[in-house]
Structure 1
Amino acid sequence: MKTDQIAPLYADPGPFASAYVEVSREAEDGDHLAELQARAAADRLAEQGAPEAVVAQVLERLSEPPHLPAPVSRFVVATERGVLLDELTPRHRAQPEATWGSLPDVSGWLTDADTAVDFVLALVDHEGGDVRRYAANAVAPEEEATRGGLTEFEHKIRGGGWAHLRYQHHVENVWRRNATDVVAEIDRLVRDHDVALVVLAGDPQSRQQVLATLPDIDAEVVELDAGGRNADSGDDALEHAVEQALRDEVVQEKLAQVHELRDRMGRDYAVATGIGDVVEAFVRGQVDRLLIDPAAAAGFTVEPGRYPGLALGAVADLPASLPADRVLVAAAAVTDADVVVSRASTLGGAPVAALLRWDQPARGASA
Structure 2
Amino acid sequence: MRLSFLEPLYAERGPFTSVYLDTSRDVDDPERAIALRWRRLRERLARQGADRESLAAVEEVVGADAEVPGLHGQAIFTAHGALVLDDELPSPPAHDVARYGLLPDAMPLVAQHVPEIPYLAVVVHYRGLPTADAHGTVTVAAEAGRWPVSRVAPGERLRRRVPVAEWHAAAVRLGRELGARAGRGGADAVVVGGDEWAGNVLIRRLPRELRDRVVRVGGPTPTDTARALLEPQVASVLRGRMAAHDRALVETFLARRARGGATTAEGLAETVAALQRGQVTALLLHPPRPWQPADLLWIGPGPAQLALSEEELLSFGVRAPRRERADEALVRAVVGTGAELVVVPEADVRLRDGVGALLRYADAATPSGGRQR
2:140 aligned partner? 129
1:183 aligned partner? 175
Q: Is the 2:300–2:319 Cα contact (8 Å) retained in structure 1? A: no
1:43 aligned partner? 43
| Whole-angstrom CA distance in 2 between matches of 1:318 and 1:45 | 25
Shifted more, 237-246 versus 16-25: the winner is 237-246
2:132 aligned partner? none
- 1:44-81 deviations in whole A, cap 9, x for unaligned? 22111111110111123223353322311100111115
Aligned pairs for 1:268-347 within 5 A = 268-269=260-261, 270-293=263-286, 294-295=288-289, 299-304=294-299, 310=305, 319-343=321-345, 346-347=349-350
| Whole-angstrom CA distance in 1 between matches of 2:220 and 2:304 | 55
C-alpha displacement at 1:240, in angstroms? 3.2
| Whole-angstrom CA distance in 1 between matches of 2:49 and 2:205 | 59
Q: Is the 1:22–1:34 Cα contact (8 Å) retained in structure 2? A: yes
Q: Please give the secondary structure, in 2, of the residue aligned with 1:303.
A: strand
| Whole-angstrom CA distance in 2 between matches of 1:297 and 1:350 | 14
| Whole-angstrom CA distance in 2 between matches of 1:219 and 1:291 | 31
1:163 aligned partner? none
Shifted more, 197-206 versus 215-224: the winner is 215-224
1:352 aligned partner? 355
Do the aligned partners of residues 342 and 348 (structure 1) sit closer, same or farther apart at CA in structure 2, a change above 3 Å counting? same
Aligned pairs for 1:233-244 within 5 A = 239-244=231-236
| Whole-angstrom CA distance in 1 between matches of 2:283 and 2:258 | 18
C-alpha displacement at 1:145, in angstroms? 1.7
Q: Is the 1:258–1:347 Cα contact (8 Å) retained in structure 2? A: no
Q: Is the 2:77–2:84 Cα contact (8 Å) retained in structure 1? A: yes
- Structure 2 unaligned regions, length at least 5: 127-137, 308-317
1:264 aligned onto 2:256: yes
Aligned AA (1:83): L
Q: Is the 1:39–1:59 Cα contact (8 Å) retained in structure 2? A: no
Q: Is the 2:304–2:333 Cα contact (8 Å) retained in structure 1? A: no
Do the aligned partners of residues 218 and 88 (structure 1) sit closer, same or farther apart at CA in structure 2, a change above 3 Å counting? same
- 1:228-249 deviations in whole A, cap 9, x for unaligned? 7678xxx9x9543221112144
Q: Please give the secondary structure, in 2, of the residue aligned with 1:191.
A: helix
Do the aligned partners of residues 5 and 239 (structure 1) sit closer, same or farther apart at CA in structure 2, a change above 3 Å counting? closer
**TM-score between the two structures when normalised by the length of structure 1:** 0.79
| Whole-angstrom CA distance in 2 between matches of 1:32 and 1:81 | 25
Task: Write 1 or 2 for the structure with the bigger share of helix.
Answer: 1
1:64 aligned onto 2:77: no
Q: Please give the secondary structure, in 2, of the residue aligned with 1:83.
A: strand
Shifted more, 133-142 versus 270-279: the winner is 133-142
C-alpha displacement at 1:21, in angstroms? 1.1
Aligned AA (1:24): S
**TM-score between the two structures when normalised by the length of structure 2:** 0.78
Shifted more, 56-65 versus 338-347: the winner is 338-347
| Whole-angstrom CA distance in 2 between matches of 1:11 and 1:220 | 41
Q: Is the 1:195–1:219 Cα contact (8 Å) retained in structure 2? A: no
Q: Please give the secondary structure, in 2, of the residue aligned with 1:124.
A: strand
C-alpha displacement at 1:176, in angstroms? 2.2
| Whole-angstrom CA distance in 2 between matches of 1:220 and 1:99 | 46
Shifted more, 255-264 versus 285-294: the winner is 255-264
1:212 aligned onto 2:225: no
Q: Is the 2:222–2:230 Cα contact (8 Å) retained in structure 1? A: no
| Whole-angstrom CA distance in 2 between matches of 1:14 and 1:309 | 16
Of 142, 155, 160, 2:155 maps to 142
Q: Please give the secondary structure, in 2, of the residue aligned with 1:38.
A: helix
1:111 aligned partner? 111
Q: Is the 1:265–1:271 Cα contact (8 Å) retained in structure 2? A: yes
Among all aligned residue pairs of Structure 1 and Structure 2, give the percentage whose two residues are the same amino acid. 26
Do the aligned partners of residues 319 and 111 (structure 1) sit closer, same or farther apart at CA in structure 2, a change above 3 Å counting? same
Q: Is the 1:74–1:87 Cα contact (8 Å) retained in structure 2? A: yes
| Whole-angstrom CA distance in 1 between matches of 2:320 and 2:75 | 23
Q: Is the 1:116–1:246 Cα contact (8 Å) retained in structure 2? A: no
Q: Please give the secondary structure, in 1, of the residue aligned with 2:120.
A: strand
| Whole-angstrom CA distance in 1 between matches of 2:319 and 2:208 | 51
| Whole-angstrom CA distance in 2 between matches of 1:278 and 1:18 | 26
Shifted more, 319-328 versus 245-254: the winner is 245-254
Q: Is the 1:129–1:182 Cα contact (8 Å) retained in structure 2? A: no
| Whole-angstrom CA distance in 1 between matches of 2:319 and 2:37 | 31
1:166 aligned partner? none
